[in-house]
Amino acid sequence: MKVSYWSDTTAPRYSLLFAFPLLLGYEVLAWSLGGGGQTGIRNGADVLLKSLFLGLGGKHGLTIFTLVLLGTGAFLVIQDLRRSGRPLLRVFGGMMLESVAYALMLGGVAGLLTNILLTGRLAILSGQLAQFDLSTQFMVSLGAGIYEELLFRVLIVTGLMALARRVFGWAKVPSGIFAAVLGALVFSGFHYVGPYGDPFQVGSFTFRAVAGLLFSGLYIVRGFGVTAWSHALYDVFLSLG
């Protein structure tokens, strides 16, 4: 079977299967660190998405959320497998190397662009999660990769692109730019909301907006799986640094 790496790895049989260990690892860690329930520290995007389903579905909200998330993913993967055949394991290795490279580059590129935008003022992130133990930071980092990318890139950026193309009648490139920029601003602002949100600072907001723009661009070009792992690994490296 001939593989076109750059196009095939954005397809569900690679992208979604590659991201699944992030979801599994996050949920297992969150469950164990929370004492076997939904209590305790969790990623903010996870809480927001599940709260919406709890509000709509009541006590069955979490079950509905799980069925929708896993059912939609399974449907897309199965359909892709029927069209294109089984994925190759070596391709997942390439995707992991690619994600590690992006994660290592992200901080430096975002920091450089932030300093250019702020005329040399250094943006320093004072993450509130530094107060937690390493296991909790690792869990939240995995959650950032899976749930923040699901919310801000898959739902918001994809939705904004569809809005720009179908309602505004824009072409693919301007629609992508519009969605990436607006999605990045929403992504950055999200980090200052809730009990564990950071105090607002122009420097940190700009840095996160730039990082969100990079993640949005990466999602549009490389798909969900590589972007989710790049985000998760960046946060993990930041915790270990």
Is the Cα torsion angle 230, 139, 198, 151 positive or negative in sign? positive
**197 close to 128: Cβ distance less than 8 angstroms:** yes
pLDDT digits (tens, 9 = 90+) for 196-231: 678 888 888 999 999 999 999 999 999 999 999 999
pLDDT value of position 128? 56
Q: What is the percent of the chain where pLDDT is above 90?
A: 68
- Count: domains in the chain: 1
Mean pLDDT score of the chain: 90
Structure letter (DSSP) for residue 139: H
Q: How far is CA 187 from CA 84, 86, 206, in A?
A: 34, 34, 11
**116 close to 122: Cβ distance less than 8 angstroms:** no
pLDDT value of position 71? 97
Question: Token pair 């943006």 is at which residue?
Answer: 123
Q: Output the CA angle 153-194-233, nearest 5 degrees.
A: 45
Domain with 146, as residue range(s), is: 5-240
Going by C-beta distance under 8 Å and a sequence separation of 6 or more, which residues neighbour residue 122? 111, 115, 203
Look at residue 1 and tell me whether its pLDDT is greater than 60.
no
pTM (2 d.p.): 0.92
